[in-house]
Structure 1
Amino acid sequence: MDKTYSSAASAVADIPDGASIAVGGFGLVGVPIVLIRALLAQGTTALHVVSNNCGVDGWGLGELLREGRISRVIASYIGENKDFARRYLGGELEVELTPQGTLAERMRAGGSGIPAFFTASGVGTMVADGGLPWRYGPDGQVTVSSPAKETRLISSLGSAKEYVLEEAIVTDYAFVRAAKGDRHGNLVFEKSARNFNPVAGMAGRITIAEVDELVEPGQIDPDEVHLAGIYVNRIVQLGAADAADLPIEKTTTRPRAAAATLNGQR
């Protein structure tokens, strides 16, 4: 089955207001920016986003955030996105913060048909006990808090330890960015761009991938596939300019030492 679409706009055309979307990426690495911008141009709003973070000010998911298109976020951290922090603290946005590893496993579990799992992360904190602020009111008061979660003593390796129950995440759609994909949807991610992309792709009922390179079925060695085509429903091949749109979040430089030769040594 050929899953390719002619454009990002056509691939996201059926996403309605209020849809939930799992989005791959970590910081600015492996972000499906073309699909995000296509959704922005379409005007879709009231989105529920699941992603490690929400981009940065004015780039990535930050572009949707800037236009007020996102109403709820499940993420592991706010980072340095000042707009994200302002909207959350100002009561414009509901935010469910969850430990990073737990977030990844919740998406993986959703794609694997596992409804919930126990983990030690968060035991003894508000993650398990409840009370994390999900939404603030205009006056700064907490209006929505996280509920308490089930905990259980589980014996393992001869000792009992407390664990908290975390529920899987399944979203209406998922956006991922891959270096290579074939027409059947098998994907290969480039180095650290692999990050949250595979598990985000697993979590979506309809997963849309933008790829730098599109190849024919059989041209990707099965051992090299990072996300199997069974999880991917639509593929968009990026143009050269879009594929090269890879900003750096923080650029750190230092003065280059002057080249000098002294006694045969540099």
Structure 2
Amino acid sequence: MFGKSKSPTVAIIGAGFGGLSAAITLQNAGIQDFTLFEASTRVGGTWWDNQYPGCEVDVPSHMYSFPFKRHDWTRTHAKQAELHAYLEETVVDYGLAPKIRLGVPVERAVWDESTHAWTLSLGHGETFVCHILISAVGFLNVPQYPSWPGLELFEGPKFHTARWEHQHDLAGRTVAIVGTGSSATQIVPTIAPIVKHLHLFQREPGWVLPKGDHDLTPRRAQEMAQPAALPLGADQGLLVDRARSSGAATSGSPARGSTRSARPPPSPTSTRSSPIVRI
């Protein structure tokens, strides 16, 4: 496959949190022959693709960070612009820009048993051969559009939250939002004060708990940015404890003091899976 003295050629699909983390890990291990392929025109993954009003992270910012990249977050739950800037800053700090090919989608990956190598089919008909393939495409990279009968007859603007069309001013207009997931719970309270009428459609109600997001003082931001002296998995435990203190149940019974409601809180294909890593 490759000699002991030769570094393997590595391809990373996706330049979001997973792809950038993989690239930096390779660098730290002394492996420099790697390339990141990103279909979008900017790095950031979901934090570049999603730019809808109110877009922000759903877990505390300091838990949604690289362990090797300290940052003084301005909010308990960072907004999209700050998260995206953090990722672009990471690219600069670790000198990754020359290793990233933007606007280059990977359309197919084929493993050759005889050469022990992957052949990637890229956009524009180009191919790329590598020994190791790391898939860091995530699971939010392809918007799911509904196929409702008659949707094509609607003459007004219609778009997916992951492909928000900012040229449309929603002020004073009647807006319909279908779905009450994480995106909707962020969008609704953001646009509600400016639209004329807002219609929210849901298929099934879900639990909604207060997030308690707010700005951080400079001192608190620095404290939160310090490496946590906690064992592996402790952050997940903190999230569970926070949910319990909010009245959430862990045994399937209804959350105390919570209402099952749609209302927001107040405040690439492969033919084989040989050396491939999915993040």
**TM-score class, shorter:** under 0.3
Compare CA radii of gyration and give the structure with the larger one: 2
- Which of the two has greater strand per residue? 1
Structure 2-normalised TM-score? 0.24
- TM-score, reference length from structure 1: 0.25
Which has the bigger relative contact order, CA under 8 A and spacing at least 6?
Answer: 2
